[in-house]
């Protein structure tokens, strides 16, 4: 099958250093690749970004149009969260170059990745809800944003331009999906209460996407969940058992969706029920990719999202994964900087530090 060809467009405010801008673009590229697309070109511009008004000016519109024709671009991704109306206008202005052109913002891109990686009914519903909210009443149902992949994302369009009808349809659909999610959340809530009653301790793996949460989960529980060098490999919450010899008892451990910068609130909201496992955990294990040059920024982003979820006060241990071959100086530096979070250095790949992690859980959990 023909791999979808992508053109990335990024406006970079002057406040962003070159280093940060590069990290940002790399991540955008990694997102497109996680989706299965091929990045064939990139358009950047240094200027301030305005909340109102179009993301790019008329000069850039022409430049992008030319590239669409020359490089046979299928999809343009704008590295921001953009008003659906502006996306629609851009799509129209590039119609001549490619009548099938797709114009996505960051949320669209993430939603498309999500829809590829969703395996459970709950994850599909969460994506559907996020997509409907993102598209808004006017666009939803016209099938213009997420229609190509169809499948898991609701695009049963009303197929007419009656705005009132569309709005009503949109609201009804949202309500239906929300009700279904509420039921699932209630089931989960009951399950968590039961665990609490019987005194089962739970630990939740959280962290930036691709840090190695699922790899660690598999290692600890003996399960075989999907692990991939892709962003958002995991979308569903899963829970496994782990025996702690020190306590001579079993605990529960949960793995869930990873975080990312500029994760729109709409998406966090839609995934609340999945994240509930972390909201109820006795202890959070914050898994960090210690090989990542952007490690420190990513730690901050995760902390910010924990605050938004109001779980920043929960007891947390930092787990520096992928630390095979890490140099000693770096260990000392990290230990010092993150002392508050009792940092541990592990490698799921080599097994380094896993015993120590289990011992730490044995020590901490009785008090958690």
Which residues contact Mg ion (rule: CB under 5 A)?
Answer: 213-214, 233-234
Instruction: Look at residue 257 and give its three-state secondary structure.
Output: coil
Q: How many residues bind ligand GTP (CB under 6 A)?
A: 22
Write out the two tokens for 41.
């070109």
* Residue among 126 and 209 whose Cβ is closer to ligand GTP: 209
Question: Using CA atoms, how far apart are residues 115 and 323, in angstroms rounded to an integer?
Answer: 32
Q: In the beta sheet, which residues pair with residue 9? A: 43, 78
Among 287, 301, 296, 302, CA closest to 255: 287
Task: Give φ, ψ of 104 to 5 degrees.
Answer: -115, 150
* Residue among 326 and 342 whose Cβ is closer to ligand GTP: 326
Residues 166-195 close enough to bind ligand GTP by CB under 6 A: none
Shortest spacing between CB 92 and ligand GTP, in angstroms: 34
Sole binder of ligand GTP in the list 129, 166, 211, 319 (CB under 6 A): 211
Sole binder of ligand GTP in the list 140, 170, 232, 320 (CB under 6 A): 232
CA distances from 212 to 58, 178, 222, 227, 330 (A): 43, 31, 15, 8, 20
Residues 245-274 close enough to bind ligand GTP by CB under 6 A: 258
Sole binder of ligand GTP in the list 231, 295, 305, 334 (CB under 6 A): 231
Shortest spacing between CB 89 and ligand GTP, in angstroms: 33
Sole binder of ligand GTP in the list 322, 343, 345, 360 (CB under 6 A): 322
* Residue among 214 and 273 whose Cβ is closer to ligand GTP: 214
327-356 mask for ligand GTP (x: CB under 6 A)? --------------------xxx-------
Among 347, 268, 342, 276, CA closest to 304: 268
Shortest spacing between CB 233 and Mg ion, in angstroms: 5
Q: Taking CB positions, which residue lies at the least distance from Mg ion?
A: 234
Residue 288 is classified by DSSP as E
Stretch that binds ligand GTP, among 2-10, 119-127, 133-141, 225-233 (CB under 6 A): 225-233
Shortest spacing between CB 130 and ligand GTP, in angstroms: 17
Question: Using CA atoms, how far apart are residues 309 and 110, in angstroms rounded to an integer?
Answer: 20
Q: Taking CB positions, which residue lies at the least distance from ligand GTP?
A: 258
CB atoms within 10 A of CB 75: 23
Shortest spacing between CB 39 and ligand GTP, in angstroms: 19
* Residue among 170 and 345 whose Cβ is closer to ligand GTP: 345
Residue 193's Cβ-side half-sphere holds a number of Cα atoms within 13 Å equal to: 6
* Residue among 5 and 304 whose Cβ is closer to ligand GTP: 304
DSSP labels for 194-246?
HHHHTT--EEEEEEBTTSSHHHHHHHHH-------SSTT---S-EEEEEEETT
* Residue among 155 and 210 whose Cβ is closer to ligand GTP: 210
Torsion, CA 112, CA 8, CA 26, CA 316, rounded to 10: -40
Shortest spacing between CB 237 and Mg ion, in angstroms: 11
Burial of residue 254 (number of CB atoms within 10 Å: 0-12, 13-18, 19+): buried
Shortest spacing between CB 218 and Mg ion, in angstroms: 9
What residues line the site for ligand GTP (CB under 6 A)? 207, 209-215, 227-229, 231-234, 258, 321-322, 324, 347-349
């Amino acid at each position: 099958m023909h791999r979808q060809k992508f053109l990335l467009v990024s406006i970079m405010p002057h406040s962003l250093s070159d280093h940060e801008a590069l990290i940002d673009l790399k991540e955008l590229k990694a997102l497109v690749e996680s989706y299965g697309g091929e990045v064939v070109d990139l358009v950047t511009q240094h200027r301030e970004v305005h909340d109102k008004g179009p993301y790019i000016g008329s000069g850039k519109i022409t430049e992008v149009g030319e590239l669409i024709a020359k490089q046979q671009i299928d999809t343009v991704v704008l590295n921001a969260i953009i008003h659906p109306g502006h996306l629609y206008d851009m799509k129209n202005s590039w119609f001549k170059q490619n009548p099938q052109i797709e114009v996505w913002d960051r949320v669209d891109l993430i939603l498309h990745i999500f829809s590829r990686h969703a395996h459970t009914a709950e994850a599909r519903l969460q994506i559907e809800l996020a997509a409907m909210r993102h598209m808004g009443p006017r666009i939803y149902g016209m099938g213009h944003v997420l229609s190509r992949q169809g499948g898991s994302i609701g695009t049963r369009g009303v197929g007419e331009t009656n705005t009132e009808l569309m709005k009503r349809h949109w609201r009804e659909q949202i309500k239906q999906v929300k009700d279904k999610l509420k039921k699932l959340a209630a089931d989960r809530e009951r399950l968590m209460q039961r665990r609490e009653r019987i005194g089962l301790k739970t630990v939740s793996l959280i962290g930036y996407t691709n840090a190695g949460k699922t790899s660690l989960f598999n290692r600890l529980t003996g399960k075989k969940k999907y692990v991939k060098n892709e962003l958002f490999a995991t979308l569903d919450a899963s829970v496994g058992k782990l025996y702690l010899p020190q306590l001579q008892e079993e605990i529960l451990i949960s793995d869930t969706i990873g975080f990312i910068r500029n994760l729109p609130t709409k998406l966090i909201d839609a995934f609340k029920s999945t994240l509930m496992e972390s909201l109820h955990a006795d202890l959070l294990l914050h898994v960090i990719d210690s090989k990542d040059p952007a490690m420190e920024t990513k730690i901050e982003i995760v902390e910010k999202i924990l605050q938004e979820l109001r779980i920043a006060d929960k007891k947390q241990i930092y787990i520096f994964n992928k630390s095979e071959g890490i140099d000693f100086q770096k260990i000392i530096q990290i230990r010092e900087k993150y002392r508050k979070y009792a940092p541990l250095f592990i490698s799921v790949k080599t097994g380094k530090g896993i015993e120590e992690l289990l011992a730490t859980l044995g020590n901490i959990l009785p008090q958690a």
